Amino acid sequence: MTIDDVTHYSEDEKQRIIASYPKHELEARTKGIPILGSGRIFPIEESRIACEHRDFPSHWPRIGGCDFGWDHPFAAVELVWDRDADVVYVARTHRLKESTPIEHAAALRSWGRDLRWAWPRDGKRETLEGAGVSLAEQYREQGLNIQYREQGLNMLYEHAQFEDGSVSVGAGCAPAS
């Protein structure tokens, strides 16, 4: 149902309602078009950042980034950087719920054996099940990092972070000019 299907509001009331919605929710609330869903970090309209699919030159730098998960899905992206324009593109995405590292790696293997993979700092977090051992170390002890390598994923040694060591999402966002 769209807001145009609602007959008990006047046109003025509809316009007031529409004006009250944040821009990034406008299509979802007025036309029923789903937005990005859970995990969305920034309230930005997709149309402001999306472009048509394209092939990227092979000499542009690339990196993969992944976020571990089971109940909340494992997710991965490939980023490609156009240094001349200083634009970073999300070239590919992958999301898989309730699956193992071997399944993740098998799905991502076709992206290229030389693609380096960044992972979040929560891979160093201690978990109750690990009795004080970090998630990343549990992966090492259980041979999961080895399984990733055997499957062709080139995981970075250290978790992703900025040059100053920070990991804040906000720190990675430059103000619009």
- 111 pLDDT above the threshold of 80: yes
For residue 27, the one-letter residue type is: E
Q: Which residues pair with 93 in a beta bridge?
A: 77
Where are the domains positioned within the chain? 9-48, 51-165
Can you read off the two tokens belonging to residue 133?
Answer: 């051992």
pLDDT at residue 133 greater than cutoff 80: no
One-letter identity of residue 139 = Y
Q: Which residue has the higher pLDDT, 143 or 92?
A: 92
Please report the pLDDT score of residue 123 as a whole number: 67
In 3D space, the residue among 115, 113, 117 whose CA is nearest the CA of residue 158 turns out to be 117
- Number of Cβ within 10 Å of residue 56's Cβ equals 13
**What span, in angstroms and rounded, lies between the C-alpha atoms of 153 and 64?**
9
Instruction: Map tokens 């109940």 to a residue.
Output: 71
23 versus 20: the higher-pLDDT residue is 20
Collapse the DSSP code of 81 into the 3-class scheme (helix H, G, I; strand E, B; otherwise coil) and give the result.
Answer: strand
The first and second tokens of residue 175, run together, are: 């103000």
Does position 50 have pLDDT exceeding 80, yes or no? Answer: yes
Write the single-letter amino acid at 13. E
Choosing among 3.30.420.280, 3.30.2130.10, 3.40.50.2300, 3.50.50.60, the CATH entry for 51-165 is 3.30.420.280
Contact residues for 143 (Cβ-Cβ < 8 A; gap 6+): none
* Distance (Å, whole) CA 144 – CA 64: 18
Inform me whether the pLDDT recorded for 175 exceeds 90: no
**Cα Rg, the chain, nearest whole Å:** 21
